[in-house]
Amino acid sequence: MKIIMLGAPGAGKGTQAKMIAEKYSIPHISTGDIFRANIKNGTELGKEAKTYMDQGKLVPDELTVKILLDRVAADDCKNGYVLDGFPRTIPQAEVLENELNKLGDKIDYAIDVNVPDENIIKRMSGRRACLSCGATYHIEHIPPKKEGVCDKCGSELVLRDDDKPETVKKRLDVYHAQTQPLIEFYTERNILKTVDGTQDMKDVFAAITAILD
């Protein structure tokens, strides 16, 4: 079972990907994690990726897919995997599809965790973080015992820059321009499944497992 997770930043697709991976005993693969592992282990692909990253450039799609295919060729992926954060664009999706085709392989499901922009802005601007111990809260859903103060270490809680409404709005604009077209791409291939991401996390997961089972 090979799955791609789609959804805007803050839609909760990462959380769902982890839960899917756990339930079906398949690896949760995030491109960021693979890059870091390759760079840390000093692999050839990692060294190549690092030359781009050190210059502040995006790693080319072909190299990203190479690193990804190297990861999905590992033994723990023989029953499938969940891809989180890739592909982000149509060219990436096409390169991935072509390379998997060569291996006689394909993606089974593209799951879109659909959440309207205004919900995401509200959700993310309610987040609070403790910069001292890394604990995270939400003013509505997981409030600290004392407003503005971390339960764990007593430090001040802050709204991170990337959770501010104006930043979230910019990230959503990029998502709609680059990643939204993937919805159509996977619809044409009859593998797109959409779930309502505004529900409770457990209900979203139940909707996903109903599709996969």
Task: Tell me the percentage of the chain whose pLDDT exceeds 90.
Answer: 75
> What is the pLDDT confidence band of residue 94, given thresholds at 50, 70 and 90?
very high
Does the model's pTM come out above 0.75? yes
* pLDDT at 125 (0 to 100): 92
Interval 180-206 mean pLDDT? 96
The first and second tokens of residue 59, run together, are 């790693």
Distances (CA, A) of 153 to 126, 130, 137, 150, 161: 20, 9, 13, 6, 22
Catalytic residues: 13, 88, 127, 160, 171
Q: Spell out the domains of the chain, with CATH numbers in brackets.
A: 2-27+74-115+168-212 (3.40.50.300)
Order of strands across the sheet with 127-130? Answer: 136-138, 127-130, 157-158
Residue 177: which residues within 8 A CB-CB, separation 6 or more?
Answer: none
